[in-house]
Structure 1
Amino acid sequence: MATARLAPGVALVTVPGQGLAVRTPDGEFLRVDTGTAAPDAVVERLTRGHGSPGDTGAQVPAQGPDSVGVGPSAPDAPDAPDGELERLAAAFDGAGYLAHEGDGTRGPLAGRTVAVLGDDVLTEPLTRFVRAEGGEVRRAKRLTDLPGEQSPDVVVWCLDSPVPQGLWDEADRLPADGTGWLRCHREGTTAWLEPLAAAPGDVTSADVRLRRLAATPAHRELAAYWAGSRTDDTGPAHTAASAALTACLLTADLIAWAAGRGGARRLRRVDLRDLTVDEHTVLPVPAVAPLTR
């Protein structure tokens, strides 16, 4: 275990008068029973000289409702034999608090292929974020540019404008084939982020349009706006900040989907003027049988 160190997000905390504690990536504090080992020696062993009791947060007490006591520590114990330090290292490893050199880092999107379409102001930051999280990105101009034999795991389409009539009709069929489908677009000063659809029955762009039409008394005007019966959009387009925020939210949706937590039925709106975000639950529209005469 000589190549093991603390995992990302894990920290050792030397608590005055209490000994050693570990802060988990979730922010929980656990007391460490160091046995006959001195806390300084444990810190040295688990950080290999990259941490010290003086900079592990000695001012932060390991107490409170989120703390879990696992036994007393021994702050004044003499140096313990290597076997005791290895026992503690093995306990940390078994709890998932150590990372091993050479293991490599796998981001939450590792092994996932993400096809990205749309306007550069949004697709460029999204591409960077997806790759930073371990995903493979394929850029395309049209859905037909994606080869069928190497179909992506999910398609993300970003527009810095309203959605042209019928543009996303074909993409709405992707979830029925097991391909994820995520999209966003802009209408004036508002960016709309629709929920990721990954299976039959999930919310599609057509569902969102129908729900939005049903929720406004100006449904005729909104339908005409979408159909293109409007003057040119002279409102503020995405800035670097609003595009980065939008790309971050989309990346978070992708990470949740990759972790099996997809399917959140929420429609989000980003106000490009002050970057505030609000969300509303949106449900798929049930299929209706055709009228008979």
Structure 2
Amino acid sequence: MPPEPSIAPVPGTGAHVIVDGGRTDAVRTSSGRFLRLVSPPPRLLDALGGASGGDGEAAEYAAALRATMSAREEEDAQRRWPGPRREVALVGGGPIVDATADALTDWGAAVTRHTDGAALLASVDGTADGDRENGATAGSRAEGAWPWGLVVAYADSPAERGGWDRLDALPSQGVAWLRAYREGENGFVDPICLSADDPGSAQVYRRRLAASLVPRELDTWRRAAVADAPPSPAARMLLTSRLLTLALAWAQDSEALQGYRGTLWKLVPATGTISEHPVLAYDPPSALDRQARQRV
């Protein structure tokens, strides 16, 4: 009867060497791939375990194996979150933003945090509060001048979304723009914006009003609503997961990204319902000519 197989970790990596039938012959990488080992020395497992026995061949093989697995894991990390897209800004506060920051950082993003949209704008151009109130927008900067490739914003109440319309100009400057928010207990993640042709925060809300059976009541509630109780652990996990899914699709420029550009995601914790709704951008209406009646 052959001996029981055993597994030995490769120190400093997520890989494992597989011992089957007394012969070391394969390694499983951290991504789940199985690779055949070429002529492994008999005492490789001892060397991987840190045993001192003076077997130079096994020690050299173990060191080479560790270096190879480390290099593979670095390549995997680059595919997971490519270096050129690592700079991400987070706008807002609270447990969902905290969880999102932790998740993005853990997967390779370089995250900077800002309390609100005005703070984000001030961090790059030093615009004074009065100037921002008088109409300064994200669109005032040249394309490529932003330090981030992606801006993610979250709000616990409609009032905290103040100023997001000014950030709707980010995509026209080459910055991806992703938003999530709660209305009462219900959570929403807007379509991710990659260009000026995608629906920004103002357009998404107007589309929601147009689709609502009670648009007046919805708008009245939204203007008067305050932050609800903190989200439940389940709601926090689901909202964070959706944000990370879209951010990861952007970082990898995946095929799924196109669909996310026109999809509003909604969570209703009271019923445990998750739904997706198409939202398309539209051309701004023409400005009213208030002198037309006088000319007729």
Which TM bucket (shorter chain)?
0.5 to 0.7
Residues in 1 aligned to 2:236 and 2:82: alpha-carbon distance in whole angstroms: 21
Residue equivalent to 1:32: 36
Residues in 2 aligned to 1:44 and 1:277: alpha-carbon distance in whole angstroms: 53
Residue equivalent to 2:28: 23
Q: Render the CA deviation track for 1:91-113: whole Å, top value 9, x for unaligned.
A: x94xxx4438999x878375633
TM-score (norm 1): 0.63
Considering fraction of residues, name the structure with more helix: 2
Residue equivalent to 2:111: 136
2:221 counterpart of 1:246: no
Deviation at 1:158, TM superposition (A): 0.9
2:49 counterpart of 1:49: yes
Cα 1:7–1:278 change in 2 (3 A) is: farther
Deviation at 1:272, TM superposition (A): 3.8
Q: Report matched runs for 1:62-141 at 5 Å.
A: 82=57, 93=68, 97-99=69-71, 108=81, 112-134=86-108, 135-141=110-116
Q: Find the partner of 2:186 among 184, 187, 190.
A: 190
Residue equivalent to 2:18: 13
Cα 1:110–1:247 change in 2 (3 A) is: farther
Q: Report matched runs for 1:272-283 at 5 Å.
A: 272-273=269-270, 276=272, 278-283=274-279
Residues in 2 aligned to 1:186 and 1:241: alpha-carbon distance in whole angstroms: 14
Residue equivalent to 1:286: 282
Q: Unaligned stretches of 5+ in structure 1?
A: 52-80
Residues in 2 aligned to 1:162 and 1:102: alpha-carbon distance in whole angstroms: 41
Residue equivalent to 1:60: none
Residues in 2 aligned to 1:281 and 1:27: alpha-carbon distance in whole angstroms: 35
Is the CA contact (8 Å cut-off) linking 2:146 and 2:175 kept in structure 1? no
Deviation at 1:251, TM superposition (A): 3.1
Residue equivalent to 1:215: 211
Residue equivalent to 2:266: 269
Letter of the 1:194 counterpart = D
Letter of the 1:268 counterpart = W
Cα RMSD of the aligned pairs, angstroms, is 4.4
Residues in 2 aligned to 1:15 and 1:214: alpha-carbon distance in whole angstroms: 65
Residue equivalent to 2:252: 259
2:118 counterpart of 1:160: no
Cα 1:209–1:82 change in 2 (3 A) is: same
Aligned-pair identity in percent equals 23
Cα 1:20–1:283 change in 2 (3 A) is: farther
Residues in 1 aligned to 2:284 and 2:159: alpha-carbon distance in whole angstroms: 25
Q: Unaligned stretches of 5+ in structure 2?
A: 1-9, 126-144
Deviation at 1:19, TM superposition (A): 6.7
Is the CA contact (8 Å cut-off) linking 1:121 and 1:240 kept in structure 2? no
Q: Render the CA deviation track for 1:197-222: whole Å, top value 9, x for unaligned.
A: 22232342234224333433233432
Residues in 1 aligned to 2:160 and 2:37: alpha-carbon distance in whole angstroms: 63
TM-score (norm 2): 0.62
Cα 1:277–1:253 change in 2 (3 A) is: farther
